[in-house]
Chain A
Amino acid sequence: MSSLAPTNADLAVGAPPPVPVSKSGRKFSFNLRQSGIYLAFLAIVLLFTILTGGDMLAPQNISNIIVQNSYILILAIGMILIIIAGHIDLSVGSIVAACGAVAAVLMVEHSVPWPLAILITLVVGGVIGAWQGYWVAYFGIPAFIVTLAGMLLFRAVTLMILGNRGIGPFPDEVRTLSNGFVDGYLGNIGLGALGGADLLSLLVGVASVVGIVVVQWRARKGRQKYGQAVEPFPLFVAKIVVAAALVMFVVVQLARFRNLPWVLVLLAALVLGYSVLTNRAVFGRQIYAIGGNLQAATLSGVKVKSVIFWIFVNMGVLSALAGIIFAGRLNQANPTAGNQFELDAIAAAFIGGAAVQGGVGKVVGAITGGLIMGVINNGMSLIGAESEQVMLVKGAVLLAAVAFDIWTKRRAGASR
């Protein structure tokens, strides 16, 4: 696209020459604030692996961690977008319950075919999100208030739908989505001392690794073509090797247990899709612009109200998805479902590096934050800790993560 060339970029400014910057000689300082979260995650996993004598990383346990936390992770994806934009959503737990109830009524009481029922439920979630988005974006009520009201409203709606009973059981397909595993179409192969493992899962793992390598390599080449600085080659290779090793480790363990959980497939697709959305899409960029400086974004032509509206709609749809999965997992829609899920989702986003003021955050970060809490839950229950101890540790981790974020910012911000 030749029209991209800025028409005035070649202005010859009669001023001293720019500060010389060598393209290749730039040092890559280790970014503690961005990498800290991933290192912390690995450290926590390592800690619990030692404390549990390796049970933490056993095939079935890895599968459990993923399945048990899937709905929180889905909520965290929606929540991080809202937090980047500088808002908050306290109502997601109630929306999870309400949508679970809607799905149950449709599938169980009205025998609506499950794909249609899921679709309707997602639309209901979207409408709930639109309701809240309207008040926040177009009416100008702070999201904290709107969603606090929503928390009560949609819990009330849930109780009106369900009364004091649970509705179930769900169709097998929905339970499979929530709890089940991909069929081993290709059978098992032996992995020597590790025993038998599902071939399809292993192939998917290998394909993912190849995908990571290809995408990263092409991105690196693209940046080099434009004369951008790239990380030193050994570091690049090391990062890919670590990522590939992690993916393959998880996949092998899952393949040894019962193949890939369906929710993992779903989560992977969501993480990938939303990461690209936030990094590369105009819409995603606008979310960061709004959170970074609302007035500047407005004066740059960003349709702020519309963007805010749509991220709440998105949150509603993802809450509905989480609601279906949670209900499917329990095989019952329950009036108390989703209690305090909003807090877990918000905590995941902040542990994952979102800034309290908005404008900063990553989907992968929020997922990592969610997994950190999931691993703490799981690891502590494996070593037989009481629930109040788990709560204590989670609270401390949340506080520490945000304190660390503010501390690094303050240290970096000490300037003229």
Chain B
Amino acid sequence: MSELTDTILRMRGISKTFPGVRALDDVNLEVLRGEIHAICGENGAGKSTLMKVLSGVYPHGEYDGEIEFDGEPCRFGGIRDSEHKGIVIIHQELALASNLSIAENIYLGNEMATRGLIDWNRTNAAAADLLRRVGLHENPTTPVLDLGVGKQQLVEIAKALSKRVRLLILDEPTAALNDDDSAHLLELLRGLREDGITCVIISHKLNEVLDIADRVTILRDGRTITTLPSEGLTEDRIISGMVGRDLDHRFPPHEPKIGEEVFRVENWTVHSPTQHGRVLVRDATLSLKRGEIVGLAGLMGAGRTELAMSIFGRSYGSDISGRLIKDGKEIRLRSVGEAIEHGIAYATEDRKRYGLNLIEDIKRNVSAAALSRLAKRGWVDDNEEYKVAEGYRKSLNIKAPSVSSVTGKLSGGNQQKVVLAKWIFTDPDVLILDEPTRGIDVGAKYEIYTIINELADAGKAVLVISSELPELLGLCDRIYTLSAGRITGEVPRAEATQEGLMTLMTAGQEIPS
């Protein structure tokens, strides 16, 4: 296996510097023909940068080092050059034109045309073939916006296949997928491996990495730490390579101090704002106690975010009915402002789109939801604002030179801490955290878990929504399961298992195969 001819890609001594940051420092990577090669590392370790160098996003000349693909030295001037060689990258944030059809997206920039006119019959037929190959049973003329994230991911792969891909790079392909879609995707990658397509996959989900990868390269602080065969490899071994220290526990120890009930949702029903009559959440009832961390588990599309956002001042959904009881009294939350006033906070699952003003600095983001606390008669005291933000920067360990740093330039973990600071500063009694560790590296996750524990210890009720069952099992005192808009179970921590939760999460609906 280890003869020279079997190495399809060799990157040697790759260094890449941004103003003030050395993102890659003499990185070496060798990928064998026909293997699935995983790259692991904390956020900021340089994984994405390395893949951008490889795919020509950073053209030759912007980095140091050599790339050899299929025995030939390569100097890509742009993505088109690398795609010409059969190297295709699928980014974490999918790049599909949502109003165009599946077929149009697959052949975007690569249209099947005769004499300048697109041959739609040929396009759609070829697209249908590709869709069969990736196991997506949809009409090629369906607009992409009608598809869920999992199916869109498959369209991206079909698009890559249409370019006669030989080396497929996937950046966090399963980050936004539920377990079923993830499993399907991983199965598809195995199938592609059978067809001789080499895969490089970046993932934070180490169980997946061990499941699917043949070899694993670990990056840390812009350097290659090691490349290991996945056989006999453990998650702990990868983690210790990524963080450079052993993490005995991925979850901080926590003794819950649970008090009386603080918030209760009764018979909560939410309808779709766009599709008339469609029920997103039906008759949901849940209760939160002071000092308690409660999990909400559900597959993608089960209505988790819809439930949370409809509670949070009706910021999502229509025709909402049910009762909210806070401290024993019924409250009505008709706007986000009223929700904040009543001590409810909701940290969104998509911090870049819904959580932060990325062009503003840390302090203005921290104060955004509670400006009135910093203002006298409508005028903001910006010195107090600085003091508050600086306090959170220290206590939450937000890694930034100062609170005047722009949030768009922070890493995912630090952005998430800014979001948390913003909501902690509203002084809530109930915090709803939607996917609080999505796309965050292991070290920062640990810090976020610690913050959540301390919030609970301060007497707040925390509702954590997460796609990662181990996270809920490690963090929560009690877990609700949501399936197709209904609460299907309530499991105390001691009795919860991944299998048991999964059964509840799929209860009352057809289990997609």
Query: A-side interface residues toward B, CB under 8 Å?
Result: 1, 3-19, 21, 26, 222-223, 225-229, 279-283, 285-286, 288-289, 292-293, 295-303, 355, 359-360, 414-416
Known: A223-B383, A293-B358. A16 touches B18 (CB 8 A): no
In the assembled complex, which residues on chain B have CB atoms less than 8 Å from the CB atom of A302? 368
Given A18-B399, A223-B386, A298-B336, 15 more pairs with CB closer than 8 A:
A4-B388, A6-B392, A8-B395, A9-B424, A13-B395, A13-B447, A19-B399, A280-B380, A282-B371, A283-B378, A285-B380, A296-B355, A299-B355, A359-B360, A416-B18
Contact B455 A8 (CB under 8 A): yes
Q: Which residues of A contact B259 (CB under 8 A)?
A: none
Q: Does B502 contact A (CB under 8 A)?
A: no
Rounded to whole angstroms, the CA-CA distance of A289 and B378 in the bound complex is: 16
Q: List 28 A-B contacts (CB under 8 A).
A: A6-B424, A7-B458, A8-B454, A9-B391, A9-B395, A10-B391, A11-B451, A11-B458, A13-B396, A13-B397, A14-B252, A15-B397, A21-B402, A226-B383, A226-B384, A226-B386, A228-B383, A229-B402, A280-B379, A282-B371, A282-B378, A285-B364, A293-B353, A293-B357, A293-B358, A299-B312, A360-B359, A416-B44
Q: Mark B1-28, 1 if CB is under 8 A from A, else 0.
A: 0000000000000000011010100000
Check if A1 sits within 8 Å of B395, measured CB to CB.
no
Within the complex, what minimum Cβ distance (angstroms) separates B73 from chain A? Answer: 26
- What count of chain B residues pass the 8 Å CB interface test? 71
Asked if residues B380 and A19 are in contact (CB atoms below 8 Å), the reply is no
B82 contacts chain A at the CB level, 8 A cutoff: no
Query: How would residues 329 to 359 of chain B score, 1 for a CB under 8 Å from any chain A CB and 0 otherwise?
Result: 0000001110110000010100001111111
Q: Does B374 contact A (CB under 8 A)?
A: yes
Known contacts A11-B396, A226-B387, A228-B386; is-contact A301 B336 (Cβ 8 Å): yes
Among A11, A17, A227, max chain B CB count under 10 A is at A11
Query: Is A4's CB under 8 angstroms from B374's CB?
Result: yes
User: Complex Cα distance A406/B390, Å?
Assistant: 30
Chain B residues within an 8 Å CB radius of A6: 388, 391-392, 424-425, 427
By Cβ-Cβ distance, the 5 closest A-B pairs, closest first, are A292-B357, A9-B391, A300-B369, A301-B337, A301-B336
Q: In the bound complex, what is the Cα–Cα distance between A6 and B336 (angstroms)?
A: 21
Closest A residue by C-beta to B252:
A14
Complex Cα gap A301–B346 (Å): 11
Q: Does B394 contact A (CB under 8 A)?
A: yes
Task: Give complex CA distance A4, B384 in Å.
Answer: 8
Report whether over half of chain A's contact residues are helix, strand or loop; otherwise say mixed. Answer: loop
- Hey, which chain B residues are within 8 Å of A21, CB to CB? 401-402
Q: B312, B357, B388, B395: which contacts A11 (Cβ < 8 A)? A: B395
The answer to whether the Cβ of B446 comes within 8 Å of any Cβ in the partner chain is yes
Contact partners of B454 in chain A: CB under 8 A: 8, 11-13
A416 to B398, CA, bound (A): 18
Given contacts A283-B378, A293-B356, is CB(A298)–CB(B315) below 8 Å? Answer: yes
Whether A301 and B339, one on each chain, are in contact in the complex, defined by CB atoms closer than 8 angstroms, is yes
Q: Which residue of A lies closest to B390 (CB)?
A: A227
On chain A, the residues within 8 Å of B400 by CB distance are: 19
Which of A11, A281, A414 lies in contact with B378, CB distance below 8 A? A281
Known: A228-B383, A296-B368, A301-B337. A9 touches B402 (CB 8 A): no
Report chain B residues within 8 Å CB of A227. 390
CB <8 Å contact, A281 and B458 = no
- B335–A301 CB distance below 8 A: yes
- Give the CA-CA distance A223 to B337 in the complex, in Å: 30
Considering the chains assembled together, what is the distance between the CA atoms of A249 and B387 in angstroms?
39
In angstroms, Cα B278 to Cα A32, docked, is 53
Closest A residue to B312 using CB positions: A299
Complex Cα–Cα for A11 and B421 (A): 11
Interface assignment of B215: CB less than 8 Å from any CB of chain A: no
Question: Bound complex: CA of A123 vs CA of B224, how far in Å?
Answer: 68
Which of B358, B382, B450: most chain A CB closer than 10 A?
B382
Q: Chain B nearest CB: distance from A173 CB in Å?
A: 33
Measured CB to CB, the closest approach of chain A to B83, in angstroms, equals 22
- Known contacts A13-B395, A13-B450: A282-B372 contact under CB 8 Å: yes
CA distance A303 to B402 in the complex (A): 29
Tell me the bound Cα distance from A13 to B373 in angstroms. Answer: 25
Contacts of B378 in A (CB 8 A): 281-283
Pick the contact of B447: A15, A286, A299 (CB < 8 A). A15
Pairwise interchain contact B380-A15, C-beta atoms closer than 8 A: no
Cβ of B166 under 8 Å from chain A: no
Question: Judging by beta carbons under 8 Å apart, are A359 and B359 in contact?
Answer: yes
A289 to B422, CA, bound (A): 13
The answer to the question of B375 belonging to the interface, with a C-beta cut-off of 8 Å to chain A, is yes
B59: min CB distance to chain A, Å: 13
Decide if B409 is an interface residue (CB 8 Å cutoff).
yes
Contact yes or no, A289 B384, CB < 8 A: no
The yes or no answer to B393 lying at the interface (CB within 8 A) is yes
B383 near A4 (CB under 8 angstroms)?
Answer: no
CB atoms of A414 and B19 under 8 A apart: yes
In the complex, what's the smallest C-beta–C-beta distance from B241 to chain A, in angstroms? 18
List chain A residues, Cβ under 8 A from B372: 282
Question: How near does chain A come to B374, taking the closest CB pair, in angstroms?
Answer: 7
Contact of A16 (CB < 8 Å), options: B19, B315, B397: B397
Residues of A within 8 A of B396 (CB): 11, 13
On whether A13 and B380 interact (CB within 8 A), knowing A18-B397, A21-B402, the answer reads no
Given the complex of chains A and B, what is the CA–CA distance between A12 and B453 in angstroms?
11
**Which residue of chain A has the shortest Cβ distance to B371 in the bound complex?**
A282
B105 within 8 A of A: no
> CB-nearest residue of chain B relative to A299?
B354
Please tell me if the beta carbons of A1 and B356 are within 8 angstroms of each other in the complex.
no
Q: Given the complex of chains A and B, what is the CA–CA distance between A4 and B450 in angstroms?
A: 24
| Contact indicator A15/B450 (Cβ below 8 Å) | yes
Cβ–Cβ contact B336 & A300, under 8 A: yes
The distance in angstroms between the C-alpha atoms of A17 and B357, with both chains bound, is 26
The answer to whether B357 touches A289 (Cβ under 8 A) is: yes
Residue of B nearest to A10 (CB): B395
Bound: A295/B339 CA distance, A: 16
Minimum CB–CB distance for B447 against chain A, Å: 5
**Does B360 lie within 8 Å of A288, measured CB to CB?**
yes
Interchain CA distance A11-B401 in the complex, whole Å = 20
